[in-house]
Structure formats: structure tokens, C-alpha cells
């Protein structure tokens, strides 16, 4: 049942409070929820809880929902992004009832007497209205995979290839041969990988971009090892690289991990693959994985559109797929590459190992050959850390590029940042 005008007014009246105290509400919510339902720890990223990334992200989402309660169309992109994330974690309808109970209780605890019965009723109606939107959307996603892939599947590591000082590729094949040929994902999408983390005593799940064109028998992910982890230190449980380090150090050929159906709203539209408008790929660090999938798919499809590959790494040794991309450039006249090294090593040669020293700086690039700024149909795919994506979007918009031509990948928690 739609919210009444009075309920909408009441919920929107809490926007200033949520802006100021939202994280207090959501941190309390997560603490209470996971105390009562420890089985849900398999879904939530432990490090994001400890460092408050998850509570802050949820607080922002709740605030945005309340602020746009009478204009939900403004949140369609965010709903799409979150629904893909939920579907990759196999969130079920019953989970929304559990979450609703503890979220509303946390609001009551923080707001105290300000949470009148009328306001509680209004927020209850608002929450379950949003939950219904997600349930219906995710139901459609699950139905597309219902014939063969309805839950986590065991995949065996068949190859483990070191791509750089930081990044290693894992080739994953389904244990169940009946799953072959694998679903043909959209280049740029990701899978969730779930595994036991002994130090935590429960499973953990992470999303990794698929880093190659679709193949019928295997998926490939390329994972960056997050440095600075001492597995014996007291704070190791909260380290953001805990799972990536387990993959690098403890998972080898023959081992299995659990994998979700591919998801994600960052991808190359198949209908656009044959377009003649230019493409500009801009990535930082391990952000190149999703773009490698798109590039390899375009090459496999013999695409002739102009493609610029712009990548920034800490050093050439940290960059994955350098030779692979250089080989594509040599073989195809429509592909042009530019590499930035933040801190080049003495033995690395400019013009050979890298093209520019320092962080990614679009002012150093040719406006036409490398950025294709004069073509109003040029599409820009940006992938990297949040600050990197914000800076690249600001720079592109400063050149007059409309935001609808800039596509950005989500890394971590909290949604896609947008340049203001």
C-alpha cells in the first residue's frame, strides 16, 4: 500500500536528523542484527563493519531514500546498483524482514521520544515499500538463472597466474560439469567469491570483477593483494585485505571456492559493441580488471571503433596485463595505450615501460588521439578507487563531457561517488 501524504511528510521530516545521526543509527543496527543473527556475518564484510564503511554507506542510503521519498525515480541508478550487489550475495526476501526489525528498533533507540507512534508507523511503511522494490527486482534477477544456478556453486582453481607484483589471476571452473557452458556474463560485471576465514570463524564474501572475455568453461578474476597484513597481529581480523591475502597465500590450483552468478551494472552494452563511436578506458591500479574484460571482448568481436587505454599504476611492476595490452595495440591500429607510473623505478625507461611520470593527469594527453573530446558520442569507462574516479569525472566534465557519457565502476562500499 502506498504511503499516505502524511506518512511521506513525517518520514521526510527526519531527513535533518538522519543526516546528523544516521551513522549512529546504522552502527547500532548492525551491532544488534549480527548479535542476534550471527549467521548473517557470512554476508557482511567484517572489515567494512569495523571501519564503519558499511554503517556509513547504509546511513547515506537511508538518508537519500528519505530525502527522495516523493521522487523515487531519482534513486533508480542506486537501486539498480544495490540490487545487483544483493543478488550476488543471494539476499532473500526473508532477510528484509529481519533487517527491517533491527533498523526500526535502532531508530527508536537513537531518536527516543522523538520517534512517536505515528512516525514509527510512517517509517515502517516506508521501509517495507523500499524492501518490496528490492525483492521484486532481485526476484527477476534470480529467475534469469533459476534453471541452472540458484545458489552458491563450488568452483575449482585450475590456474593461478602472477600478473604483477600485486595482482594474481585465478582461473575458476565449476565443479559441477552440468553448469557448462557457463552463463555468458556482460563484460565488466563481477562475481562474488565466498570462502571460510578461520581467524573469523565464519565465511566472508568479496566481489571481484571478471577480468577476461566470456569463455564457456571458466571465469577469470585478477585479485590485488592488499599489503600491510600481519596475520598474527591483533587487528588482522579487520584488515581490508584479509580475504585477498588468503587467496594469494592459501588458495592454489585444485582448491575450491564458492562463486555466485555474475552480476553488476557496470558493463559494455552488447548492442553498443559494434558502434563506431570512440571508447576511452581510464583505470587506476586493479581497476583495470573490468576494463580488461571489456577490451578483450571487443578484440574477440573484431571491433573497429577507436579505443584509448589509459592506466595509472604505482610502478610498472605493479601493473597487470602490460604486455597483453601492448600486444593488442601492436596488432590493432584502433587501440592506443598510455601508461602513467606514479613513482617509476630507476631501471624503468620512459617510453618503454611507461609513458608519463606521476599520477593520472588528463592535461598531459592529446585531446583527440587519446581523449577523443571532439566526438560527442565518445564513451568514457572509469574504474579505480573512489577518489580516482571522482577526479577523473571532474576532469572530463571540465572538458565538457556530459556525466551520462561517463560510466564508473563501484569499488568497496558506499555507492558510486559523483563529481559535484
| 300-309 confidence digits (pLDDT tens) | 999 999 999 9
Contact 186, 305 (CB under 8 A): no
Per-residue pLDDT, averaged over 347-358, amounts to: 94
Q: Average pLDDT for residues 346-363, to the nearest whole number?
A: 94
Identify the residue with better confidence: 413 or 202. 202
Question: What proportion of the chain, given as a percentage, has pLDDT over 70?
Answer: 93
1: Cβ contacts below 8 Å, ≥ 6 apart: 125
pLDDT over threshold 70, residue 246: yes
pTM to 2 decimal places: 0.92
How high is the pLDDT of residue 274? 67
Q: What is the pLDDT of residue 148?
A: 81
* Residue 416 clears pLDDT 50, i.e. is over it: no
pLDDT in tens, 93-135: 999 999 999 999 999 999 999 999 999 999 999 999 999 999 9
Q: In this model, does residue 413 exceed pLDDT 60?
A: no
pLDDT of residue 33: 94
DSSP 261-317: PPB-S----GGGTT--S-EEEEEEGGGHHHHHHHHHHHHHTT--S-EEEEEEESSGG
Q: Is the pLDDT of residue 89 over 80?
A: yes
231-242 pLDDT tens trace:
666 666 667 788
pLDDT of residue 77: 87
Q: According to the model, what pLDDT value does residue 410 have?
A: 59
Does 96 participate in catalysis according to the annotation? yes
- Higher-pLDDT residue of 270, 110: 110
The pLDDT score that the predictor gives to residue 44 is 83
- What average pLDDT score do residues 192-199 get? 92
Name the pLDDT band for 144 (thresholds 50, 70, 90).
Answer: confident
The pLDDT value recorded for residue 272 is 67
Q: What percent of the chain has pLDDT over 90?
A: 78
411 pLDDT more than 90: no
pLDDT of residue 232: 60
Q: Range with the lowest mean pLDDT among 155-164, 263-272, 289-298?
A: 263-272
pLDDT of residue 414: 47
Rounded to an integer, the average pLDDT of 358-365 is 97
Exactly one of 46, 138, 306, 379 is catalytic; which is it?
Answer: 138
Q: Which of 159-173, 272-286, 338-352, 391-405 has the lowest mean pLDDT?
A: 272-286
Residue 167: its pLDDT value, please? 98
Give me the catalytic one of 30, 63, 90, 96.
96
Looking at residue 200, its pLDDT comes to: 86
For residue 39, indicate whether it is catalytic. no
In the prediction, which pLDDT does 59 show? 87
Q: Which of 53-57, 140-144, 282-286, 327-331 has the lowest mean pLDDT?
A: 53-57
Amino acid at each position: 500500500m502506498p504511503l499516505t501524504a502524511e506518512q511521506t511528510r513525517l518520514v521526510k521530516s527526519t531527513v535533518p536528523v538522519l543526516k546528523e545521526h544516521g551513522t549512529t543509527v546504522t552502527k547500532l543496527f548492525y551491532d544488534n542484527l549480527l548479535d542476534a543473527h550471527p549467521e548473517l556475518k557470512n554476508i557482511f564484510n567484517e572489515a567494512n563493519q569495523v571501519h564503519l564503511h558499511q554503517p556509513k554507506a547504509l546511513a547515506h542510503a537511508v538518508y537519500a531514500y528519505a530525502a527522495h521519498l516523493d521522487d523515487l525515480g531519482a534513486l533508480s541508478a542506486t537501486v539498480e546498483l544495490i540490487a545487483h550487489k544483493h543478488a550476488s550475495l543471494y539476499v532473500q526476501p526473508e532477510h528484509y524482514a529481519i533487517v527491517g526489525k533491527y533498523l526500526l528498533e535502532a531508530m527508536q533507540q537513537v531518536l527516543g521520544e522523538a520517534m512517536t507512534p505515528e512516525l514509527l508507523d510512517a517509517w515502517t511503511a516506508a521501509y517495507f515499500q523500499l524492501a518490496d522494490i528490492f525483492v521484486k527486482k532481485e526476484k527477476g534477477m534470480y529467475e534469469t538463472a533459476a534453471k541452472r544456478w540458484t545458489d552458491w556453486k563450488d568452483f575449482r582453481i585450475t590456474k593461478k597466474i602472477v600478473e604483477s607484483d600485486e595482482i594474481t589471476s585465478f582461473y575458476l571452473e565449476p565443479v559441477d560439469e552440468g553448469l557448462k557452458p557457463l552463463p555468458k556474463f556482460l563484460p565488466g560485471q563481477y562475481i562474488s567469491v565466498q570462502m571460510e576465514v578461520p581467524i573469523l570463524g565464519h565465511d566472508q564474501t568479496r566481489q571481484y570483477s571478471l577480468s577476461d572475455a566470456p569463455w564457456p568453461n571458466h571465469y577469470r578474476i585478477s585479485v590485488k593483494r592488499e599489503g600491510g597484513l600481519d596475520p598474527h597481529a591483533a587487528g588482522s581480523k579487520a584488515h581490508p585485505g584479509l580475504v585477498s591475502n588468503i587467496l594469494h597465500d592459501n588458495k592454489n590450483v585444485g582448491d575450491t571456492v564458492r562463486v555466485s552468478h555474475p552480476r553488476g551494472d557496470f558493463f559494455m552494452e552488447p548492442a553498443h559493441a559494434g558502434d563506431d563511436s570512440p571508447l576511452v578506458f581510464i583505470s587506476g591500479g586493479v581497476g583495470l580488471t573490468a576494463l580488461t574484460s571489456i577490451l578483450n571482448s571487443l578484440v574477440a568481436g573484431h571491433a573497429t571503433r577507436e579505443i584509448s587505454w589509459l592506466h595509472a599504476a604505482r610502478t610498472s611492476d605493479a601493473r597487470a596485463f602490460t604486455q597483453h595490452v601492448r600486444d593488442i595495440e601492436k596488432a590493432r591500429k584502433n587501440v592506443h595505450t598510455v601508461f602513467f607510473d606514479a613513482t617509476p623505478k630507476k631501471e624503468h625507461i620512459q617510453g618503454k615501460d611507461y609513458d608519463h611520470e606521476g599520477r593520472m593527469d588528463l592535461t598531459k594527453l592529446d585531446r583527440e588521439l587519446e581523449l577523443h573530446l571532439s566526438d560527442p558520442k565518445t564513451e568514457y569507462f572509469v574504474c579505480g578507487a573512489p577518489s580516482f574516479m571522482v577526479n577523473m569525472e571532474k576532469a572530463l566534465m571540465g572538458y565538457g563531457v556530459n556525466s551520462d557519457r561517463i560510466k564508473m565502476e563501484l569499488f568497496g562500499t558506499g555507492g558510486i561517488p559523483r563529481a559535484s
